[in-house]
Amino acid sequence: MKLASSAVWSFAVAGLALATGVAASPAQHVFAPHRPEAPETNAAVSPVRHATPSLVDSAKWERIESMAALPNYQLRVKQPKLCETNATQYSGYLDTDEDRHFFFWFFEARNSPKRKEAPLILWMNGGPGCSSSTGMLMELGPCRPDKGGASVSPHKYGWDDQAHVIFLDQPLNVGFSYGSDVFNSIAAGKDVYSFLQLFYHSFPEYSKSELHIFGESYGGHYVPATAKAIHETNLEFSQKQSLGVLSTAEKQKRVLPLTSIGIGNGLTDPLIQYKYYSTMACNSTYDPVLSKSQCDEMDRSYPTCARLIDACYKWQNALACYPAEAYCNRMLTAYAQSGANVYDVRIPCEGGNLCYPIISDIDAYLNRPEVQKELGSDVSEFVSCSQKVYAGFTFSGDWMKPYVSEIPPLLEAGIRVLIYAGDADFICNWYGNKAWSVALEWSGKDKFANAADKEWLVDGKSAGEARTYENFSFVRVFEAGHMVPYDQPVNSLDMINRWLAAKPF
Ligand SMILES: *[C@@H]1O[C@H](CO)[C@@H](O)[C@H](O)[C@H]1NC(C)=O
Ligand SMILES: *[C@@H]1O[C@H](CO)[C@@H](O)[C@H](O)[C@H]1NC(C)=O
Ligand SMILES: *[C@@H]1O[C@H](CO)[C@@H](O)[C@H](O)[C@H]1NC(C)=O
C-alpha cells in the first residue's frame, strides 16, 4: 500500500535515530508525522484504542453473525450506501473475545457475468499500519474522493469490476479497527482466517467464489503469512474431514477456496531486495535520483546489511531482526533527504507527509461523521496510517523476516502466485522483486529463471512485461510507482481481470 510506506519509512529513519543515537535527520521534514497528535518517535506509546461510547449501538447492525465452530469470534454487518456504486456493499466488524475489532468494507462485483459466483479478492494495504480503505479510495475501489474530501465520484476501473472485493483494516488500530494489539504478521493471519470462515458462513450466496488474497507493500509480509495460515488450516481440516472426525460444530467450517495470492510492490524477501536500492536510485530506466557516490555508499553498506538480514532469517526473533532493520534502513536516508517521492522516482514528494495530495482528501472523507455513521464505525477517528502500529511492528523485528519462504509450499499445492511491480517505485522496486522471484526455491525455479519476459499489451499498447511458468507470474508494470492501480488504472484492471480469468499476459 502506499501511505503506509511514507509513514513507515519516516519511522524507519526516526527509529534508526533512536537506536543509534544519531541526531534526527533532515529527512524528518519529508516524513514528519502526518497526525498532529501522534507522538514523534516514542515507540513505547501503545496504539491501543477503544470504541467511542456514543457510537456503540447494537441497533445500527443489520446482522450479527457467529459460528459454533469459532466461539471466540463474531461478525457485525450493515449495508452502507456510499461510494455511488449500485452494487451491493457490506461493512462492519470482525470481533474477537480478546478485544480485537477489525473493520471491513465489501463491494460486490459490478460487472461480472458470474454475478454472485465471481471471484473474491481480500485486499490488504501495507505500512505496516495503514488502512485498506486508503487503497480502496486511492487505488482499486469503485470510487475516489473529490478534492477536499466532501464527496466521492465513481471510479470505473476499480477491481470490483469482475470480482467481489473486501477491504480489511488490519492490523488493529488502523483505519476504523481498534482494540488490543497484534504486532506480527503471523498472528494477523489467524484472525484473517477466522474472518473469512465467518464471511463465507454468513454469506452463503458467495460460497462458490474462489478466494484470492492480495496486498501491497508491507502486504508482501501479510499475504504470504495469511495464505500460509489459510492453507495449513485447510489441510488440517480436510484431513479431519476425510477421517470423519469433525465435531458437529466444526462441520460448519469449510475448506476456504484459496486459489491465488498476489503481491504488488511488496517487501517479501528483504535479503535480496535491499541489494537493489542503488540500482533503482542510480541506474533505473528513469533518471537517476542520487549521485554515483551516494549509490556507491549504499553498495558498500549492503554486505553488512546482508549479514544482519541473514542472521534475522536464521533466528527470526526481535534480537536478531531489529538490528538488521535499523542498519539497512539507514542506507535509505540519502534518498529520503533528496526530496524525491519514495514511491515514485519520477516525481517529488508533494502534498503532505504521505507524498500524495489525495491522501488528505481520503482522510477528510472518512472522518466525516455522516460517512462514519453510514459505515457503522465504532470509533470517531479514521486513522489512515498509524505510526504507533508501525513502530510496534518495527520493534518486534517483523520487518526483515523471510516471509518469502511461505510462498513455495503454496505454489507446490497448486495455488497461483502473482508478483507485480510498478517500475518507477523506489521503496519496493521491481528490480528487487524480480530478483527474488527468479531466485525463489520451488520445483519450477529453473524453468522460471529461463522463461522469457513477454510484452504485455493492453488495447494494443505496451503496458509492461510478464514472465510466467506454470502458476507463477512476475509482471513489471510500466510507468507506475508503488500504487500501481493509482498510476495505471486501465492497465492494472486488465492485469487483475486476466489473472482472475487465468488468461496469459
Ligand atoms: C446506478 O444506477 C442508476 C440507475 O440505473 C444509473 O443512472 C447510474 O449511472 C448508476 N451508477 C453507476 C455508478 O453505475
Ligand atoms: C546500469 O544498468 C545497465 C542496464 O541494466 C547495465 O548494463 C549496467 O551495467 C549498469 N551499470 C552499473 C554501474 O551498475
Ligand atoms: C495451477 O493452478 C491450477 C488452478 O489452481 C491447478 O489446478 C493446477 O494444479 C496448478 N498447476 C500446477 C502445476 O501446480
Do the Cβ atoms of 253 and 237 come closer than 8 Å?
yes
- The pLDDT score that the predictor gives to residue 392 is 81
Q: Each residue of 123-137: pLDDT tens digit?
A: 999 988 888 999 999
- The pLDDT score that the predictor gives to residue 184 is 67
Percent of the chain with pLDDT over 90: 76
CATH number at residue 339: 3.40.50.1820
Q: Where are the alpha helices (DSSP H) in 367-474?
A: 369-375, 387-396, 407-412, 430-439, 445-450
154 CB under 6 A from ligand 1?
yes
| 72, pLDDT greater than 50 | yes
Q: Each residue of 81-105: pLDDT tens digit?
A: 999 778 899 999 999 988 899 999 9
Indicate which residue's Cα is closest to atom 6 of ligand 1: 86
Q: Where are the alpha helices (DSSP H) in 274-401?
A: 277-282, 292-315, 318-330, 333-338, 358-366, 369-375, 387-396
Q: Which three cell numbers stand for residue 440?
A: 525463489
Q: Write 250-256 long-range contacts (CB < 8 A, 24+).
A: 250/69, 251/69, 252/67, 252/68, 252/69, 252/201, 253/67, 253/69, 253/70, 253/197, 253/201, 254/197, 254/200, 254/201, 254/207, 256/193, 256/196, 256/197, 256/200, 256/211, 256/230
Kindly state the average pLDDT of the residues 212-216: 97
How long, in residues, is the chain? 505
Indicate which residue's Cα is closest to atom 2 of ligand 3: 414
Catalytic residues, by residue number, are 217, 425, 482
Q: Which three cell numbers stand for residue 26?
A: 533532515
Kindly state the average pLDDT of the residues 356-372: 94
| 145, pLDDT greater than 50 | yes
Counting from 1 in the atom list of ligand 1, the atom nearest the Cα of 156 is 13
| 22, pLDDT greater than 80 | no
Percent of the chain with pLDDT over 70: 90
Q: Which three cell numbers stand for residue 354?
A: 504521505
| 38, pLDDT greater than 60 | no
Give the Å distance between the CA of 105 and the centre of ligand 1.
Answer: 20
Q: Where are the alpha helices (DSSP H) in 149-245?
A: 185-202, 219-243
Q: Is the peptide bond before 171 cis (omega within 30 degrees of 0)?
A: yes
Say whether pTM exceeds 0.95: no
Ligand number, closest to the Cα atom of 416: 3
Contacts of 170 (CB under 8 A, 6+ apart): 102, 124, 132, 177, 188, 191, 192, 222
| 33, pLDDT greater than 50 | no
Count of Cβ atoms closer than 10 Å to residue 244 Cβ: 6
- The pLDDT score that the predictor gives to residue 400 is 94
Question: 3-class DSSP state for residue 71?
Answer: coil
In the chain, the amino acid numbered 342 is V
- The pLDDT score that the predictor gives to residue 202 is 96
User: What single-letter DSSP state applies at residue 211?
Assistant: E
Domain count of the chain? 1
**Domain with 415 in it:** 3-500
- The pLDDT score that the predictor gives to residue 397 is 86
For a mutational test of ligand 1's pocket, the pick from 86, 89, 110, i.e. the residue with the most ligand atoms closer than 8 A to its C-beta, is 86
Assess if residue 365 is contained within a domain. Answer: yes
Give the Å distance between the CA of 141 and the centre of ligand 1.
Answer: 16
Query: Across all residues in the chain, what is the average pLDDT?
Result: 88
Indicate which residue's Cα is closest to atom 8 of ligand 1: 86
Count of Cβ atoms closer than 10 Å to residue 314 Cβ: 10
Say how far apart CA 266 and CA 221 lie, in whole Å.
8
86 CB under 6 A from ligand 1?
yes
Provide the pLDDT confidence category of residue 37 given band limits of 50, 70 and 90: very low
The binding-site residues of ligand 3, defined as CB within 6 angstroms of any ligand atom, are 259, 414, 416, 470-471
Assess if residue 335 is contained within a domain. Answer: yes
Which residue carries 477491504 as its cell?
Answer: 167
Q: Each residue of 247-267: pLDDT tens digit?
A: 999 999 999 999 999 999 999
Counting from 1 in the atom list of ligand 1, the atom nearest the Cα of 84 is 13
Counting from 1 in the atom list of ligand 1, the atom nearest the Cα of 142 is 13
Give the Å distance between the CA of 113 and the centre of ligand 1.
Answer: 18
Q: Which of 481, 475, 462, 478 is nearest to 346 (CA)?
A: 481
Q: Which three cell numbers stand for residue 69?
A: 465452530
- The pLDDT score that the predictor gives to residue 185 is 67
Give the Å distance between the CA of 86 and the centre of ligand 1.
Answer: 6
Rg of the chain in Å (alpha carbons): 21
Indicate which residue's Cα is closest to atom 13 of ligand 1: 85
Give the Å distance between the CA of 319 and the centre of ligand 2.
Answer: 36
Indicate which residue's Cα is closest to atom 5 of ligand 1: 86
Kindly state the average pLDDT of the residues 182-203: 85
Q: Write 20-25 long-range contacts (CB < 8 A, 24+).
A: 20/326, 20/330, 25/333, 25/336, 25/337
Say how far apart CA 388 and CA 11 lie, in whole Å.
9
Assess if residue 425 is contained within a domain. Answer: yes
- The pLDDT score that the predictor gives to residue 317 is 92
Provide the pLDDT confidence category of residue 181 given band limits of 50, 70 and 90: confident
| 274, pLDDT greater than 90 | yes
| 492, pLDDT greater than 60 | yes
Assess if residue 495 is contained within a domain. Answer: yes
Provide the pLDDT confidence category of residue 45 given band limits of 50, 70 and 90: low
Assess if residue 505 is contained within a domain. Answer: no
